Structure 1
Amino acid sequence: MRVLVTGASGLIGASLCARLAADGYEIVRVLHRAGAAPFRGLPPVLFDMAKALQTQDWSPHLIGIDAVVNCAGVLQDSAQESTGGVHAGGASALFAACEQAGVRKVIHFSAIGVDRLQPSAFSATKLAGDQALMARDLDWVILRPSVVLGRPAFGASALFRGLAALPLLPVMPSTGRLQVVQLDDVIATVLHFLRPD
C-alpha cells in the first residue's frame, strides 16, 4: 500500500512514516522544508501546503496513492506560517483532490476540543479543515488527540522533560487537567484505520 503523509517531519508524521516503512508500506512524505532526518525510501516531496490551495496543486502527488494521512499543522500564524493556509485552505484542496483522484481513505489530524470552542486561529482553522473533510465523499477519519507525548523531543514532549527536571512544578490557576496521549498509541490508531477492511 502506498501512503502519502503530509507533515512528515513533525512528531506524529515522522514517527508514523518510520512505523509504516517498518511495516512494509511505501511512503510518500510531504515536507514543508528540506532538512528532515534521513529516510530510506522514496524521495520526499517538498511542498508548501499553505500555498497548495487548488486541487491541481495536489493531483500529481496523488497518482498511485492508496491512502492519505494529513499530519500537517502549525501552532500559530507568523511571517513564515499560516494556520488558515495549512489547516483549512491547503487541507481542503487536498481532500477535494483525493475525491477527484479516487483516493478514498483519508486520515486527518485535528485537535481536541475544536468542535466545542475556537479561541484561537489554530482551533478555528483546524475546525474548518475538519468540516472540509466531512463534506467530501471519502472514507475519512478525523483524529483529535490532546497533547501527544513521545520519545522524540518535540513541543510538549520537550516541555514536559524540562518541567520534570525542576524541583517544583508550577501550578496554573483556573485550568483543567491536562489530557495526554502516548505517541505509540496515536500511531497504533492510525495503523488500525489504514488496514484494509
Structure 2
Amino acid sequence: MIALVTGGAGVVGKALCRELLARDVCVRVLVLPGDTQAGFLPEGVEVFYGDVSDADSIRKAFVGVDLVYHLAAILLSTKPGAFERINTNGTRNVVAAAKEAGVKRLLYVSSISVTYPVLTEYGKSKLAGESCVKESGLQWTIVRPTLVIGEPVGYGGGIEFNMYANYVRRFPVYFLPGGGKCLKRPVKSVDLVKGIALAGLSENAVGKTYALAGEGVLSMAEMAKAVLKLAGKRHWMIPVPWWIAKKLAVLKSWIGGKPVTAEQALAGFLYDAAPDIENARADLGYNPGSPLEI
C-alpha cells in the first residue's frame, strides 16, 4: 500500500510518516516547494513538492496512491481569504487529484472547532472541507483533533496550546476570559498520530467521523496551573468577564500575536471542546492517555 500525506513536513505529518512506516506502509509526502522541514523527514519517504491551492502542482503526487491522509492546512492567519483558499479550496483540489488518479480512500484531518456553536473563519473553512470530502464519492474518514499537546509540554506539538502555555508562563499575573472555565479534552500528539493512522487504515472507519481527544477533561484554568507546575512557577490568574475580554484588544496580542485574529484568539476560551471518544475506542482501538496532570 502507498499512502500520501499532504502537509507531511509538519510536526504531526512527520510523526505520521514514522507511524505509517512502522506499520509497513509505503509513504509519500506532499510538501510546499522550498520547505526546509522536508530534510527532516524519515528515511524511506518519497517527497513530492506542490501547493494544495495550486491544482496543477499536486497531480503527480497522487499517481499510484492507495490512501491519502490530507493534513495540509493553515491554522492561523489574518490575511483575508487565506483559510478558504488553502483549507477549503485546497481540499477540493486534493479530492479532485485523488479521484483523477484513481485513489480509493481519503482521510481528512479536520478540527474540533467545527463543532463550536459560532464558527471562526478557520472553523468555517474546515467544515466546508468536510463537506467536500463527504461529497467526493471516495471512501472517506474524517478525524477532528482537539487541543494538541506535544513533548515537552508547551514546546512541542500543537501551535494553539504552545501559544497558551507561553502566555501563562510569560506574565506573573495573567488574565483568563470567563475565568478559564471553558472545558477542553487535550490530546497528546503521539496519541493523535496513532489515531489518525488507525482511522485511515481501518475498514470500520469508512464513512465515519471521529473526535480524537485525550483521556482527561480540564478547564482552561486547570491547564494553566498544570503548565505553571511543570515550569516551576507560581503565577496569579485574574478572571476577566466576557464583555470586557471582547473589548480588550491587548488580550489578542498577549495570547496570540500578529498571526491571530481577536475572534480566533478568544474562541478557544469561549467554547467547550471535550468530545466523547467512545466510537474511536470501539472502531479503532484508540486508547489515549492524559497529557496533563494537575
What TM-score do you get using the length of structure 2 for normalisation?
0.58
Cα contact 1:134–1:140 (8 A) shared by 2: yes
Within 2, Cα distance between the matches of 1:116 and 1:78? 20
Rounded Cα–Cα distance in structure 1 between residues aligned with 2:146 and 2:189: 11
- Residue of structure 1 aligned with 2:160, choices 144, 156, 159: 156
Larger Rg: 2
Aligned residue in 1 for 2:95: 95
* Distance in 2 separating the partners of 1:165 and 1:150: 17
Mapped partners of 1:42, 1:12: distance in 2: 15
In structure 1, C-alpha distance between the alignment counterparts of 2:157 and 2:100, rounded to whole Å: 38
What residue in structure 1 maps to residue 197 of structure 2? 191
Q: Which moved more, 1:108-117 or 1:67-76?
A: 108-117
The corresponding residue for 2:22 is 22
8 A contact 1:50–1:82 mirrored in 2? no
Contact 1:31 1:47 in 2 (8 A): yes
Deviates more, 1:42-51 or 1:104-113: 42-51
Structure 1: distance between partners of 2:9 and 2:59 = 21
Amino acid in the other structure paired with 1:38: F
Task: Return 64-73 or 93-102, whichever deviates more.
Answer: 93-102
For 1:51-70, list aligned pairs within 5 A: 51-52=54-55, 57-70=57-70
What residue in structure 2 maps to residue 125 of structure 1?
125
**1:23, CA displacement in angstroms?**
2.8
C-alpha spacing 1:108/1:153, structure 2 compared with 1 (3 Å): closer
User: What is residue 52 of structure 2 aligned with on the other side?
Assistant: 49
- Paired letter, 1:25: V
Native 8 Å contact 2:113 2:119 kept in 1: no
Identity between Structure 1 and Structure 2 (%): 22
For the residues of structure 2 that align with 1:13 and 1:153, how far apart are their CA atoms? 11
Return closer, same or farther for 1:71/1:176 CA change in 2, 3 Å cut-off.
same
| Contact 2:53–2:89 (8 Å) recurs in 1 | yes
Distance 1:25 1:137, change over 3 A: same
Decide whether aligned partners of structure 1 residues 177 and 169 sit closer, same or farther in structure 2, where only a CA change above 3 A counts.
Answer: farther
Q: In 2, are the aligned partners of 1:133 and 1:140 still within 8 Å (CA)?
A: yes
Quote how far apart the aligned CAs of 1:83 are.
1.1
Higher-helix-fraction structure: 2
2:177 pairs with 1:172: yes
Where does 1:78-117 land on structure 2 (aligned, <5 Å)?
78=78, 82-117=82-117
User: TM-score, structure 1 length as denominator?
Assistant: 0.83
Instruction: Tell me the distance in 2 between the aligned counterparts of 1:113 and 1:91.
Output: 17
C-alpha RMSD of the superposition:
2.7
Name the count of aligned residue pairs. 194
Q: In the aligned structure 2, how far is the partner of 1:24 from the partner of 1:80?
A: 41
The alpha-carbon distance between structure 1 residues 135 and 47, as it changes in their structure 2 partners (threshold 3 A), is: same
Q: What is the alpha-carbon distance in structure 2 between the residues aligned to residue 92 and residue 43 of structure 1?
A: 23
State the 1:143 CA deviation. Answer: 0.8
Whole-Å separation in 2 of the counterparts to 1:173 and 1:8: 37
Deviation for aligned residue 1:154: 4.5
